[in-house]
């Protein structure tokens, strides 16, 4: 029962290495969603994750002989850093087995704190199996990242701080779940001290081991685990964590990769800090709860559980954010392959901002364009689809199509036979509504567009590549026309990159 953890949590003496983190208001989010939203900032721990709490609390329970043996753990990164710091503080030798897929920032941080790193397997579970083999081989003490009462109690101190920092009304708390240590510790404390507060566990859709266990009535292995949110990429919920969670949580919320990316952006806009995917998981679930329940005027808290992510991952996160916020629709639209059809399409879009436009000439009949459009909600997206179809456009909604978002958007193109009159120009458009329409108005349907690539990257200028079918005798007129736009442009017809991959085959 959860009350068995209360004394353990109250007795946890973790503040030699862990910090009491702030509970910050999220004013922009709160205003946007009409609820009081609070962020428990575990990303501000010395190792940028809550994991140091449980690791240190577990080490404090070791006797002198056990400390002398040395410790070992398997971890995707955050438990590893916490254990490395805790072990260094207590003078204990530590070995950490980490999946080979762990972000380099976490691997380097563990090594920098003096622990020995062994990279093995693609997932936490493969790393854990190898760690257990090393336990048998070397006699090391295994420190479990989540399925240990002392680790769970250490993580439960997050809830102890949260309730002390916010003694007023609190409707619900949203906690990220991988193996379940943080959720079990927090849920046990919250439900004992203030049982009226709802507690929701949040998981990625592609690593929902707690949801699978709740359905099966016992821990069950997932056949596949997504690793985007590597800090919660666990195939099987812990036995002890599940025992606690099944009696203490009010539900499990699963969220998509796009929703996690959107939550990372939300946290950045309110705090100017960058959460790792697992760190933003709880907020993604909180937002989904608001949407599904129509919640208004409630006090809702979540844990920003970590901030250990590779910088180069931000490019992918940024790309997926707008769809995660339901602010971008990705469509395949069929229009006539004739001069002026793009102009008519853009006019039919009205004031909607175009976020992406990809096209390559295929034949004389129909043009298939890959287009991203700014929307405000799912309902707005549906209204836009209805309007386009009423105007006789053939439209396929690709907004939730993983292949389209991951691959096809970057592959629209290729060589085309018979385009001997094609010229290619590169432009910098001012990143403002109407810039694309102004460009098409300037061309006025005089020349057929055979290639178009544009993607809004949030910069002051949009980079655009355009191919046009222009007879030799009209090319001076084209250049004069383009100069009248006052957009910077460069002819790229002889560029070897174009000639190799897109030019007349």
Kind and range of the H or E run holding 459: none
| Alpha carbons 491 and 500: distance in angstroms, whole number | 16
Active-site residue, from 40, 49, 51, 341 = 51
Q: Lowest-pLDDT range, 170-179, 227-236, 387-396, 493-502?
A: 493-502
* Cβ within 8 Å of residue 434, ≥6 positions away: none
How far is residue 114's CA from residue 483's CA, in Å, rounded to a whole number? Answer: 61
Element (H, E) at 452: strand 448-455
Q: In the predicted model, what is the mean pLDDT of residues 129-134?
A: 93
What CATH number labels 2-49+149-318? 3.40.50.1100
Q: Which residues pair with 198 in a beta bridge?
A: 172
Give the CATH fold of the 326-501 domain: 3.40.1020
Choice among 75, 128, 256, 305 that is catalytic: 305
91-117 pLDDT, tens digit per residue, is 999 999 988 877 787 888 899 999 999
- Per residue in 418-448, pLDDT (tens digit) is 788 999 998 887 766 677 778 888 877 788 8
184 φ, ψ to 5°?
A: -65, -45
Average pLDDT, the chain: 90
Backbone dihedral angles phi then psi of residue 196, each to the nearest 5 degrees:
-75, -15
Q: How far apart are CA 82 and CA 313, in angstroms?
A: 22
Residue 128: active-site member: no
State the Cα angle at 216 between 213 and 218, rounded to 5°: 55
- The confidence score (pLDDT) of residue 456 equals 66
Count of all residues that appear for the chain in the document = 505
Residue whose token pair is 């191919």: 467
Q: Is the pTM of this model over 0.85?
A: no
The sign of the torsion formed by the CA atoms of 12, 83, 261, 464 equals positive
- H or E stretch including 479? helix 475-483
pLDDT in tens, 273-332: 999 999 999 999 999 999 999 999 999 999 999 998 888 788 888 877 866 677 888 898
Where does the chain hold its CATH 3.40.50.1100 domain(s)? 2-49+149-318, 52-142
CATH number attached to the domain at 52-142: 3.40.50.1100
Active site residue 40: no
Under 8 Å between Cβ of 427 and 489 = yes
């Amino acid at each position: 029962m959860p009350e068995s953890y209360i004394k353990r949590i109250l007795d946890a003496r973790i503040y030699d290495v862990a910090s009491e983190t702030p509970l910050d208001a999220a004013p922009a989010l709160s205003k946007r969603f009409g609820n009081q939203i609070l962020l428990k900032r575990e990303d501000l721990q010395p190792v940028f994750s809550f994991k140091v709490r449980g690791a240190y609390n577990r080490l404090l329970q070791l006797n002198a002989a056990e400390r002398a043996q040395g410790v070992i753990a398997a971890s995707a990164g955050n438990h590893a850093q916490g254990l490395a710091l805790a072990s260094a503080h207590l003078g204990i030798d530590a070995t950490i087995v980490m999946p080979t897929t762990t972000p380099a920032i976490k691997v380097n941080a563990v090594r920098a704190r003096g622990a020995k790193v062994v990279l093995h397997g693609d997932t936490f579970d493969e790393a854990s199996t190898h760690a257990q083999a090393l336990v048998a081989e070397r006699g090391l003490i295994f420190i479990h990242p989540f399925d240990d009462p002392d680790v769970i109690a250490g993580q439960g101190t997050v809830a102890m701080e949260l309730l002390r920092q916010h003694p007023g009304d609190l409707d619900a708390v949203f906690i990220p779940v991988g193996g379940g240590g943080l959720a079990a510790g927090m849920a046990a404390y919250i439900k004992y001290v203030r049982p009226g507060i709802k507690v929701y566990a949040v998981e990625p859709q592609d690593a929902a081991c707690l949801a699978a266990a709740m359905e099966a009535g016992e821990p069950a292995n997932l056949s596949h685990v997504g690793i985007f949110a590597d800090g919660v990429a666990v195939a099987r919920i812990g036995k002890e964590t599940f025992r606690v969670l099944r009696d203490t949580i009010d539900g499990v919320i699963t969220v998509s990769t796009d929703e996690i990316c959107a939550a990372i952006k939300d946290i950045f806009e309110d705090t100017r800090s960058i959460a790792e995917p697992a760190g933003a998981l709880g907020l993604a679930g909180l937002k989904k709860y608001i949407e599904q329940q129509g919640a208004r005027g409630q006090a809702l808290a979540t844990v920003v559980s970590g901030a250990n992510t590779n910088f180069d991952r931000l490019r992918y996160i940024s790309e997926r954010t707008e769809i995660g916020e339901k602010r971008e629709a990705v469509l395949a639209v069929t229009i006539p392959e004739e001069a002026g059809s793009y102009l008519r399409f853009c006019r039919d879009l009205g004031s909607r901002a175009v976020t992406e436009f990809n096209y390559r000439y295929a034949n004389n009949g129909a043009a298939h364009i890959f287009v991203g459009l700014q929307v405000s909600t799912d309902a707005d997206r549906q209204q836009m689809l209805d309007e386009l179809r009423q105007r006789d456009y053939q439209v396929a909604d690709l907004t939730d199509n993983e292949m389209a978002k991951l691959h096809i958007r970057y592959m629209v193109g290729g060589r085309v036979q018979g385009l001997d009159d094609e010229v290619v120009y590169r432009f910098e458009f001012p990143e403002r509504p109407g810039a694309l329409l102004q460009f098409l108005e300037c061309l006025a349907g005089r020349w057929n567009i055979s290639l178009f690539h544009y993607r809004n990257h949030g910069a002051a200028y949009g980079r655009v590549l355009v191919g046009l079918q222009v007879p030799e005798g009209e090319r001076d007129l084209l250049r004069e026309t383009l100069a009248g736009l006052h957009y910077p442009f460069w002819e790229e017809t002889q560029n070897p990159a174009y000639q190799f991959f897109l030019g007349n085959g």
